[in-house]
Amino acid sequence: MIIKPNYRGFICLTAHPTGCYKNVEDMVKKAKSAPIAPAKNPKNVLVLGCSAGYGLASRVAAAFSCGAKTVGVAYEKECDGKPGRTATAGFYNNRAFMELAGDKNHITLNGDAFSDDIKEKTAEACKKLFGGEKIDLLVYSLAAPRRTDPKTGEVFSSVIKPVGKPYSGKTVDFHTGEVKEVTIDPATDAEAAATVKVMGGEDWYLWIEKLKADGLLAEGFTTVNYSYIGPELTHAIYKNGTIGRAKDDMLIYREKIDKLLKPLNGGAKVSVNKAVVTQASSAIPVVPLYISLLFKIMKEKSLHEGCYEQIHRLFADKLFGNENIIRMDDYEMRADVQAEITASWPLIDSENISRMTDIEGYRREFFGLFGFMRGDVDYDAEVEP
């Protein structure tokens, strides 16, 4: 079939297998061209949420810059063969990774990482792949809209809302470039609590508890989870909203995991990363406009990093240091960068957005997540979905 973008708002319903393959191939080339010093290299790595964004970048860095064996877990949909339907981008990304890396040193599991069943299957996969060796790094990079509690069976759904009072602010429809005001009602207590259950630290803790009980964690084991804080401009909808509460919960569980790992001389870390284009970030009002402006400024200052560049810097320079909270958003939060954002923000409107921001770059990166808008792919050619 000929595959074109079929999207609704921040959701793209189709993905291009060739474009996704080339996205992963680009990351692999970068990883191979910049090996990480052996002293810092993890050898046996488990990546939870390995199919896109920071999770995929982490797996590529571990495999191709560090030479590690990896087990990856993600919940992706295959193509069901119905007309006009494709697999998810994450499915194609995982397939591309396995084709480029080979299956001798890597295993990918497709299933619900929140479930006890996948935790058990993952533990068995780690035993099989790593042999007598144990896991020395676990990357937790799950992003899901809902979670089923493995003990009670209750399903929790997350929401992206402010807490306490309504939020009004400027946002953009990144498809059309229309800048408009948006008002979002605050979350109920139940919605905020459910978001914490989905996006907080409980499942991270359950994974570490399970793998430690199975004797699968190495001496000096490290685990890292990814977070975001952002500037005051986005705090009402992010840091001080329902997502922020979940991230606060993650920090509480980081301390609990740290104590759990003390007998192994191991530790839990949170990496606070910079703003990047993901399907999740595209769903948050204000954020696409902020990122479009941020990208323009950071590119002009030669500070811009994509997902892979940031994760490579994390692995090479900071992950195995002494910091428990790692600030990978250091370039984004530089005073000169934020000063320009503060000065430009009130001036942006639908007429000048293309000049004042990198809205086209945002749009290109969004569709790029699904394998589209690449210059080296013929999108008019038939492809097997």
Catalytic residue annotation: 238
Instruction: Say if residues 321 and 290 touch (Cβ distance below 8 Å).
Output: no
The two counts, helices (H) then strands (E), for the chain are 14, 13
Q: What is the CA radius of gyration of the chain?
A: 20
Phi/psi for 322 (5° steps) reads: -95, -5
Separation between Cα atoms, residue 157 and residue 134, nearest integer Å = 34
Q: In the block, which residue shows the tokens 């086209």?
A: 360
Closest to 274 in 3D by CA, of 331, 317, 235? 331
The conformation of residue 185, written as its DSSP 8-state character, comes to P
- Bridge partners (DSSP) listed for residue 272: 227, 327
**Residue 88: both structure tokens together:** 């998810």
Separation between Cα atoms, residue 210 and residue 204, nearest integer Å = 10
Separation between Cα atoms, residue 250 and residue 129, nearest integer Å = 29
Q: Give the other-Cβ count within 10 Å of 380's Cβ.
A: 7
Instruction: Say if residues 242 and 156 touch (Cβ distance below 8 Å).
Output: no
CA distances 336 to 146, 301, 303, 309, 339, Å, are: 38, 10, 12, 21, 5
Entry field: residues in the chain = 385
DSSP calls for 207-252: HHHHHHHTT-EEEEEEEEEEE----HHHHTTTTTSHHHHHHHHHHH
Residues 6+ apart with CB under 8 A from 170: 179, 180, 181, 182, 286, 289, 345, 348
Single-letter residue type at 368:
G
**Residue 111: both structure tokens together:** 């299933």
